[in-house]
Structure 1
Amino acid sequence: MANVRAKVEELKAIGYDGIYSFEASSDGFMPFVIAAEHTETQVLSTQVAVAFARNPLTLAYQANDLQMLSKGRFILGMGTQAKPNIEKRFSMPWGKPVTRMRDMVGAIRAIQHTWQTGEPLNYQGEYYRHTKMQPMFTPKRNPYGPPPLMLGAIGAPMTRAAGELADWFVVIPFCTDKFVRETTFPALQEGLEKGGRTWDDLKIAAQCMIATGSNEKSFAEALARTRYQIAFYGSTPIYAKALEAEGWGDLHPTLRQMTRENRWLEMGQLISDEICERFAVVGEPHEIGPKLVERFGDWVDRLSIMTTYQLDPDVASQIVCDVKALTATRGS
């Protein structure tokens, strides 16, 4: 939190149109209290907040406050996280994730509706029941309206639910172009049809890992950290299907066993160049922008770059400028 303002100023200078938080070793909402006050046009989004570590009312309060503070620039992005993290890290119950997420979305929207209209709150679902909202606890009507709701998923059932219910869907970074086109898009289509909606009713965001650097040393570090990140994702059961789609399903149990043996630092060595380039965009700084546009340019509404290393601001600026120039040329 101490360096949020400086980071925000850096991101603005680079030219980013939005800022997202990745909830890992700190809270995903807190940085936006500062970011909202020191940005004017950038969209702010949790990508994604751990929904099942919280309840609908606390999420609704946080989202409403940030929507007000940012003057309508906040997007509430949520995801489930994995069962072991929910139960063992957050000490929260698991249950049926798709049913629970549908319930979460319904409850949040019911709460927001009560705040906006003054109508009594009476939401009763399988997991969440909200039937009391006294005036003392009711925020003033938000002039910017409730923030859009974004869901992140990889499995087809949750992706279908997102297509049916969400304003935004975010493609997580551990996805390949093949997986998105053959698995994600069909599931979203099914969800849209179930909800009586069309593609005009859903916006798509995507996160993409990149590995690049301004010199040989920085590029080597970026590549090593990206390999590790891919291996970390690949060791998680819910992400195994993305490896399977590419014919690398046998890699998951090996990575899984390495986590049990606490061999975290060795995992990245199992990620070949081919695997790395399938899950991430890899190259010299001048190559990254064109590669991003080639991979995402015909279907994404908002693209987020993900790095687990310090990306040189000059390199980041070049990538942003290249992407904007190329998408402007395409008219997208």
Structure 2
Amino acid sequence: MTVPLNGIPLRNQRDLIAELPDLGYTDVWSSESSDADAFTPLALASVWAPTLRLGTAIVPVYTRGPATLAVSANTLAAVAPGRFVLGIGSSSSVIVEKWNSIPFDEPYKRVRDTLRFLRSALSGEKVTQQYDTFCVDGFRAGLTSDPPPPVLLAAMRPAMLRLAGREADGAIVNWLSAEDVKTVAPYVHGGGEGKEIVARIFVLPGVDANTARAIGRRRIAAYLNVPVYRAFHEFLGRQDGLDKMWRAWSDGDRAGALAAIPDRVVDDLFVHGAPETCREHIERYRSAGVTTPVISVLTSGNPMPAIRALAPR
């Protein structure tokens, strides 16, 4: 389940998070954009529901310095030994450049270098290293956990997916259909056996098709016009479904861009319908190669009725 839960103040979510294991949920995964930071909701969940696995999906590698990122990860890993997974990624030019005024340069190298640094730093090694995109001189973590937390990479296109399989413990994927998993998974598994693939899946249980598609169209227009996400869907072969939206958006026609998104694209990327139908759709992601499907409930108001309805059977 994605945390923090939408529609409820974070400070009021204790009982709701504590209920998740009884419903059959095993993990909670955070993110970091314009809402909560990635670590605080997981720190709370580690106390509220001490059996849940905790994961970041994802922490941007640009917005924290390498040593600060290692310290944050080591702290949460020490609080929840054996239950924390660190997911990192490049994020996007919007978050990195427009919101944080940091150049979004060489994202592949920055993610690769951060991963290599973390492998050493999370193990307690002293790091003095000139990487391609930054330099670390004499850092050693004062707090570590044994074993160190796994590190997953947010990945969309072949080079990053291969890196996730080759040097990380797996990949975190987003904004893809169940069928798309069959395209991306082989790149990760090419790096060896036992790689985890985490996928965040947008779900609107019990919402009528027209409403669900309207919500989906707004999110598609907001995200898939960002260059990294557009490139991902070009790689997946979705040009025929999205070209008209991309052209309208480029021309400044926001209403035309929304109208140009076909129902089939929304239905591929957003799970909606009766709860049983949603559970069956989510299971298709697992059958296609996702090891950890992470649900993001998009219904308005209190999400717990939807979360209970979606609970694993």
Shorter-chain-normalised TM-score: which range?
0.7 to 0.9
Q: Using the alignment, how far apart are the partners of 2:291 and 2:168 within structure 1?
A: 15
Q: Quick check: 311-320 or 98-107, which moved more?
A: 311-320
In the alignment of these two chains, the number of paired residues is 299
Considering fraction of residues, name the structure with more helix: 1
How big is each residue's C-alpha offset from its partner over 1:164-210, in whole Å with a ceiling of 9 and x where there is no partner? Answer: 111121121x112443323x1343255x1xxxxx122x111111112
Q: Using the alignment, how far apart are the partners of 1:35 and 1:78 within structure 2?
A: 20
Q: Using the alignment, how far apart are the partners of 2:201 and 2:297 within structure 1?
A: 8
Residue 60 of structure 1: how far off its partner (Å): 0.7
Q: Is it true that 1:233 corresponds to 2:223 in the alignment?
A: yes
Q: Using the alignment, how far apart are the partners of 1:79 and 1:100 within structure 2?
A: 9
Residue 64 of structure 1: how far off its partner (Å): 0.6
Which letter does structure 2 place at the counterpart of 1:156? P
| Cα 1:303/1:253, change in 2 over 3 Å | same
Q: Using the alignment, how far apart are the partners of 2:128 and 2:199 within structure 1?
A: 35
| Cα 1:188/1:235, change in 2 over 3 Å | same
Tell whether the 8 Å contact from 1:82 to 1:238 is kept in structure 2 after alignment. Answer: yes
Q: Is it true that 1:66 corresponds to 2:76 in the alignment?
A: yes
Q: How does 1:282-293 map to 2 (within 5 A)?
A: 282-293=272-283
Alignment counterpart, residue 256 of structure 1, candidates 249, 253, 256:
249
Considering only CA atoms, is the larger Rg found in Structure 1 or Structure 2?
1
Q: Work out the percentage of aligned pairs sharing the same amino acid.
A: 25
- Who is 1:180 aligned against? 181
- Who is 2:193 aligned against? 199
Tell whether the 8 Å contact from 1:60 to 1:112 is kept in structure 2 after alignment. Answer: yes
Tell whether the 8 Å contact from 2:245 to 2:256 is kept in structure 1 after alignment. Answer: no
| Cα 1:208/1:177, change in 2 over 3 Å | same
Q: Secondary structure at the match of 1:158?
A: helix
Q: Is it true that 1:112 corresponds to 2:122 in the alignment?
A: yes
Residue 89 of structure 1: how far off its partner (Å): 1.1
Residue 8 of structure 1: how far off its partner (Å): 1.7
Q: Quick check: 155-164 or 219-228, which moved more?
A: 219-228
| Cα 1:320/1:268, change in 2 over 3 Å | farther
Q: Is it true that 1:53 corresponds to 2:63 in the alignment?
A: yes
Q: How does 1:135-150 map to 2 (within 5 A)?
A: 138-142=141-145, 144-150=146-152
Which letter does structure 2 place at the counterpart of 1:176? S
**TM-score of the aligned structures, taking structure 2 as reference length:** 0.85
| Cα 1:123/1:76, change in 2 over 3 Å | same
**Relative contact order: is structure 1 or structure 2 higher (C-alpha 8 Å, sep ≥ 6)?**
2
| Cα 1:71/1:120, change in 2 over 3 Å | closer
Alignment counterpart, residue 135 of structure 2, candidates 115, 118, 129:
129
Q: Using the alignment, how far apart are the partners of 2:20 and 2:107 within structure 1?
A: 35
| Cα 1:13/1:313, change in 2 over 3 Å | farther
- Who is 1:5 aligned against? 14
- Who is 1:326 aligned against? none
Residue 133 of structure 1: how far off its partner (Å): 3.5
- Point out where structure 1 has 5 or more consecutive residues left out of the alignment: 193-197, 323-332
Q: Is it true that 1:211 corresponds to 2:204 in the alignment?
A: yes
- Point out where structure 2 has 5 or more consecutive residues left out of the alignment: 1-9
How big is each residue's C-alpha offset from its partner over 1:210-234, in whole Å with a ceiling of 9 and x where there is no partner? Answer: 2222x65xx6544432232222222
Q: Secondary structure at the match of 1:76?
A: strand
Q: Quick check: 310-319 or 74-83, which moved more?
A: 310-319
Q: Is it true that 1:318 corresponds to 2:309 in the alignment?
A: yes
